[in-house]
Structure 1
């Protein structure tokens, strides 16, 4: 073969090159198909994953917005934050009220007798474990006190075993010795702690503090009580945290009321709407990045992995339909009426500040009704994307599974192709080796015959 590398011992023909060429000719069509399909499946799977992550983030933000006061625009204030602070949530409305706190809620606290040996005093000098039973609100918590246990070890065991049940223990030490003090995080009348059992630790225990209810009045009404210093049921949508008893007037001796007020804060509402716009735009950008056609430096268009994808078009159509639908119970029922518009080129939302300021000046309350409730925008967008976002049965999850299965199948095809080409290489190599050996034998025979003939044609002189 002209131009080939000599490798055949007998034939002087590059048999390895011939074998490689034949194997490559057999491999290339199938290898090209596998490579093309693998690249497409991998790229598409990556794009689906990015959109799945963006959609999950979008839906998570919708949930957060639905549980906080992003769109109520209501803020709370207290005239004396040393007495009480407050937070306005869903269900709150504008208004103010007068609060007087005459007593804070407190927890039960009980102390053991004093152990002269301090925190290292042995409280179980026997050879077998004993039991300390701590009772509260009808529940018993049994603590095993092993032989040789010290007061400090009992304290540590209580905290490690019962802290999630609202119990805590400390060792207080003075010149007379140490004592174990148990306190409850549960407050209010009826949450008393008592000690019993056969450990002896309960003997001589004394009550340090009796649990009490918080006592207060709102707008001078009848006395109210709470087992906690956090009050959430007294005023709709308002959570009040009591911090101290109301101060008394030096002249009259009467409690000085604290004014708790709820008012609309337009900047807070605007911040909530801008937060929604940012969240929405992040999803649109993520989808656009995977579906748009980009132009290269040479003007050649390059399609995204999901360009023209029907499911992406359907997803965005569902979202936009809900965005453009009218909702709410107020005078203004759409975001467009508050200055929120969609860019015709990018699909991103923008806010016209002038139009916003004009609309919110008289219709601020309408924003909350547009977003909140079972028919609000947040709920409707969540429902519209549900079919795509389900972790195992959603459209995106199923497509990801299909693409993963495709890649697994292609990997099997690649392994099969590699095995087949290895066998073909072995087979062809054996055949060409045999051919080369045969040519070598024939050439040797030819050389022998030519030698004989040459001898006959050139006889020696007698």
Structure 2
């Protein structure tokens, strides 16, 4: 039979070793953890949704920017060509696409350079002396002194000194059956005429020329500018290579042909346009598959996409889906992507019928190119890149569904953070309350323990008295 003292001890828990600090912590955790888990789970989902919306917008930007960059390149603008390369040939210059083609070119005159030749000296060689002294070489407003001394007194030495003057005049020594002579040639263009005047040395004076031929120095060609007409406008150039008449286009003048018109035009980039359609469908499908994954409906929340049920993404998919039926031009044989064989699958991705595309390109390549990549885009003929930019701008507009959804989730994220902070405050207060309660309980238990000790002593005395 239990004693009175043991019953009191059991009832009060005295001596049970209860850690009130741990008890308080456990009780707070039991209240806090479920609430905190709900908030943190919602925080994780909200953060994931904000990230997914940003990713969708970024993917759309990447797609639109890549398309614009691709179509602005020369590969999708065609290759410039001349219908008579023997008169003039053309090629692309880096930095952009030529504008203003086709153009009509007439080469009225080629640019030429001043060419001088000394009288051949029979029996002479490149090492034959020419005489010591000085000559002055003048090109435009610049002059240089040509000095011939004992170290360079030869045809070869004279040519080297002229070349070393750095004024754009080249000299060479020619030896043939007629003998040896000095040949000099300047740069093309009327402004690049030159003269060689004598300063000292009688023998060296034989190589002087100042506009008048002599018995020892003769002009073989006079300098002149190239003269061309482009679409009837006359233009003059010092060189036969013209790279400023039409932006981003180099024109090489090969032959003067007054009265003959050469057409400079751009060939249709039919092969690259076919490749463009294939690449466009592939890139579009990559974007759409990403959206499909984000909005997928699973058996439960863990297997569903993070944006499942999100209206802004449904709107984004709807806007993208209109691209196949949107008119890219108001004129021509083909007006929409569907006319070129692009159709929409049930999951929103695209499929391309290359047979239809090839027939369209074969039938009217100019119409296909003009529809997809017009030389000058407009509201009625935006082209593929212009349409993509318009769709992107509509999806990403400030008051659009995507922006509203992003703002909504950011606001929710802030509220959840506030809820977590509020829970922290509540649990801190709750912990303080429990600590106070158990502190008072400890005080009472201490008093009860003193009473228990007193009672135990009295009982012991009673028991001894009975014995």
Interval of TM-score (by shorter of Structure 1 and Structure 2): 0.5 to 0.7
Q: Deviations over 1:390-438 (max 9, x none)?
A: 4x65543443333233223322221221232123213212321321232
Distance change (3 Å), C-alpha of 1:258 and 1:36: same
| Residue 269 of structure 2 is aligned to residue 269 of structure 1 | no
State the distance in 1 between where 2:98 and 2:251 align. Answer: 20
Name the structure 1 match of 2:351: 350
Name the structure 2 match of 1:217: 228
Q: Deviations over 1:317-338 (max 9, x none)?
A: 1222232134431122232232
Q: Deviations over 1:56-82 (max 9, x none)?
A: 11232343356456655x222464899
Name the structure 2 match of 1:406: 412
Superposition map of 1:116-135 within 5 A: none
State the distance in 1 between where 2:335 and 2:50 align. Answer: 39
Name the structure 2 match of 1:85: 91
Q: Deviations over 1:341-391 (max 9, x none)?
A: 2233x322232232222221112122234334323353334223313324x
Give 1:282 deviation, angstroms. Answer: 3.1
Distance change (3 Å), C-alpha of 1:415 and 1:28: same
Name the structure 1 match of 2:55: 50
Superposition map of 1:240-255 within 5 A: 240-242=249-251, 246=253
Give 1:313 deviation, angstroms. Answer: 1.5
Name the structure 2 match of 1:430: 436
Q: Which has the larger radius of gyration?
A: 2
Give 1:47 deviation, angstroms. Answer: 0.7
Does the residue aligned with 1:307 lie in a helix, a strand or coil?
Answer: coil
Give 1:85 deviation, angstroms. Answer: 2.2
Pick the aligned partner of 2:110 from 88, 102, 114.
102
Superposition map of 1:22-421 within 5 A: 22-64=27-69, 67-68=72-73, 74-77=78-81, 79=85, 84-86=90-92, 89=97, 102-103=110-111, 215-218=226-229, 223-225=234-236, 229-231=242-244, 233=246, 239-242=248-251, 246=253, 260=264, 262-293=266-297, 302-328=303-329, 329-344=331-346, 346-371=347-372, 372=374, 373=377, 374-375=379-380, 376-378=382-384, 379-390=386-397, 395-421=401-427
Name the structure 2 match of 1:444: 450
Name the structure 2 match of 1:163: none
Q: Deviations over 1:260-293 (max 9, x none)?
A: 5532232122123233323322321232221123
Give 1:304 deviation, angstroms. Answer: 0.7
Does the residue aligned with 2:307 lie in a helix, a strand or coil?
Answer: coil
State the distance in 2 between where 1:453 and 1:447 align. Answer: 10
The number of equivalent residue pairs is 344
Give 1:450 deviation, angstroms. Answer: 1.6
Structure 1: segments with no counterpart, 5+ residues: 1-7, 115-173, 180-187, 190-212
Structure 2: segments with no counterpart, 5+ residues: 1-12, 113-139, 146-160, 167-188, 191-223
State the distance in 1 between where 2:363 and 2:23 align. Answer: 86
State the distance in 2 between where 1:292 and 1:453 align. Answer: 77
Alignment root-mean-square deviation, CA: 4.6
Give 1:44 deviation, angstroms. Answer: 0.6
Does the residue aligned with 1:45 lie in a helix, a strand or coil?
Answer: helix
Contact 1:41 1:407 in 2 (8 A): yes
Contact 2:319 2:395 in 1 (8 A): no
Give 1:258 deviation, angstroms. Answer: 8.8
- TM-score after normalising by structure 1: 0.60
Contact 2:80 2:90 in 1 (8 A): no
Does the residue aligned with 2:303 lie in a helix, a strand or coil?
Answer: strand
Distance change (3 Å), C-alpha of 1:92 and 1:220: closer
State the distance in 1 between where 2:415 and 2:141 align. Answer: 69
State the distance in 2 between where 1:33 and 1:110 align. Answer: 87
Distance change (3 Å), C-alpha of 1:324 and 1:286: same
Contact 1:10 1:439 in 2 (8 A): no
State the distance in 2 between where 1:419 and 1:331 align. Answer: 71
Distance change (3 Å), C-alpha of 1:389 and 1:311: same
State the distance in 2 between where 1:436 and 1:81 align. Answer: 111
Does the residue aligned with 1:264 lie in a helix, a strand or coil?
Answer: coil
Contact 2:24 2:434 in 1 (8 A): yes
Give 1:232 deviation, angstroms. Answer: 5.3
- TM-score after normalising by structure 2: 0.60
State the distance in 1 between where 2:383 and 2:234 align. Answer: 41
Does the residue aligned with 2:244 lie in a helix, a strand or coil?
Answer: strand
